[in-house]
Amino acid sequence: MKKAFLFIENQAFNTLLELAVRTKERGYTNLLIFRKMQPHEKEKLNEYERRHQHPLFEQICEVECWDFNSLRDLVEDMAGKQPLAGILTISGLFTPDGLLGASVAQIASEKGLPSQSVDGLYRSNNKYLTRDALRHAGLQTVDFGLATEETSLIEHARRIGYPVILKPVNGCASQLVIKCENEQDLLQGYRTALKKLPQSIYRNLYSCTHQFTDKKGNLITFDPLRTMLVEKYIDGPEASIEIVATESEVIPLLVHDKVLVSEGDRVVYEHLLVVPPVRFTPEELENMKQYAIEVAKATGIKNSLCHVEIRYDKQSGPQLLEINPRVGGMLVTKSLETMIGFHALDAMVDLALGSFQPRPYPCASDQYGMFTLYPPHAGYFERVEGLDKLNRIPGILSSTLLFPEGTHIHGDDEEVFLLMCWVKAETYEEIQDIYEQAKREVRFHVKKEAPAL
């Protein structure tokens, strides 16, 4: 009997389809546990099936509840009808019912299939547990604390020393990352965050109260709607390292130099990244790669792509900002394919099947870059001007508008990539010039909307 590949996912629909095409081409039957599909998602799936005249998924189960026992029962029912070759989730983020990635990993492990590490997923998705794992392993990490109310908030900040950073313990998209220079900033930032978290576009992540043990064995209860991580502010140039963790080893793939990063009131914006890096010596690059390997090992991640963000302090060397047990965003998958011939989606399938075979990954020497243009604020996206001029700029290889005109977009408290570009030039300076030209040519018209009462 033909084996099935099971996807369990609640967010990344487009990536899900791309992965399912790959498993279908490998001869597997696709099964899917997914949230209720939106009309445009159903139409996209139907369009694929009309074009290819066969279903992409043999069975689709739409669910509203993501708790472990319900998922396990569904998987047990599916596995009783057809043997499973692999189980995969893409984002695996927190839901109101638990950490989806950890539930999927546990289910895969119980079925005797390759799986990620439940422990590693908690320690990489919860930023407090990440810091705790690094400290326990003796790796460089800034001082930090868990603020559950204003008294502990102030105590941690005074011990750490200003400036400090406030961030949600399980946040994403740099949402509500707040730099505080003094106690007044600290209290204002904390109160603002606690007010905004329940209304944020990621509120389903933050509504997951969960318990997990630190490395000393202390059981900690995390309520992300009422808790913020406090940590020492890290200065220095920023970079990200893409790595792959197999069952037994951790392999660095590619370093991106985040040459233009800005800090808003409540968000950190990544504007321009280049590869190969331009601001680091060979020794510093090697230090970053080795540090990323040790960070991944400390958290216990396995069978996963990983995205490690660091700042390079000239005195202490690489310092972790965060680690995510998934491939980086923006155009990182394009960069991996171009620079080292690494196909991230194929690797995700291979890891879930237990068939991933590491190899050397020499990096091309040509200079590439990726940049994003952000909306001026949240609201109704009326129209965009200048795309025709943008695409005629020499060096622009591709441009992607991520939100169609006529839709509501966010962007006041989190990174929202509205337009992404992939570029090539002879030098970093030329890439920066292309970025500056793009900013001059493109205009987003976003109508502000009245705040909810």
Q: How far apart are the first and last CA of the chain?
A: 57
Instruction: Round to whole Å and give the CA distance between 242 and 348.
Output: 13
Structural domain including 429 reads 366-453
Does a structural domain hold residue 170? yes
**What pLDDT sits at residue 413?**
87
Q: 77, exposed or middle or buried, with CB in 10 Å at 0-12, 13-18, 19+?
A: exposed
Amino acid at 225: L
User: Which tokens hold the place of 46?
Assistant: 């139907």
Task: State how many domains the chain has.
Answer: 3
What element of type H or E holds 150? helix 150-160
What element of type H or E holds 430? helix 428-441
Please name the residue that has the structure tokens 């695996």.
92
Domain boundary (115, 131, 158) is at 115
Instruction: Round to whole Å and give the CA distance between 294 and 137.
Output: 9
Name the CA dihedral angle for 191, 197, 199, 200, rounded to a multiple of 10 degrees: 130
Instruction: Round to whole Å and give the CA distance between 374 and 415.
Output: 8
**What pLDDT sits at residue 453?**
38
The CATH number given to whatever domain includes residue 92 is 3.40.50.20
Same domain (yes/no): 90, 186: no
Q: Report the candidate in 453, 376, 360 with the shortest Cα–Cα distance to residue 410.
A: 376
Contact present, 417 and 372 (Cβ < 8 Å): yes
DSSP 338-405: HHH---HHHHHHHHHHT-------PPP-SEEEEEEE--SSSEEEEEEE-HHHHHTSTTEEEEEESS-T
Contact present, 300 and 119 (Cβ < 8 Å): yes
Same domain (yes/no): 108, 163: no
**What pLDDT sits at residue 369?**
97
Over residues 249-290, the pLDDT tens digits come to: 999 999 999 999 999 889 999 999 999 999 999 999 999 999
Q: Report the candidate in 299, 296, 318 with the shortest Cα–Cα distance to residue 251.
A: 296
In the chain, which residues have pLDDT < 50? 451-453
The CATH number given to whatever domain includes residue 191 is 3.30.1490.20
Does a structural domain hold residue 280? no
Domain boundary (177, 207, 232) is at 232
**What pLDDT sits at residue 314?**
84
Same domain (yes/no): 226, 155: yes
The number of CA neighbours under 13 Å toward the Cβ of 10 is 21
Contact present, 312 and 280 (Cβ < 8 Å): yes
**What pLDDT sits at residue 450?**
54
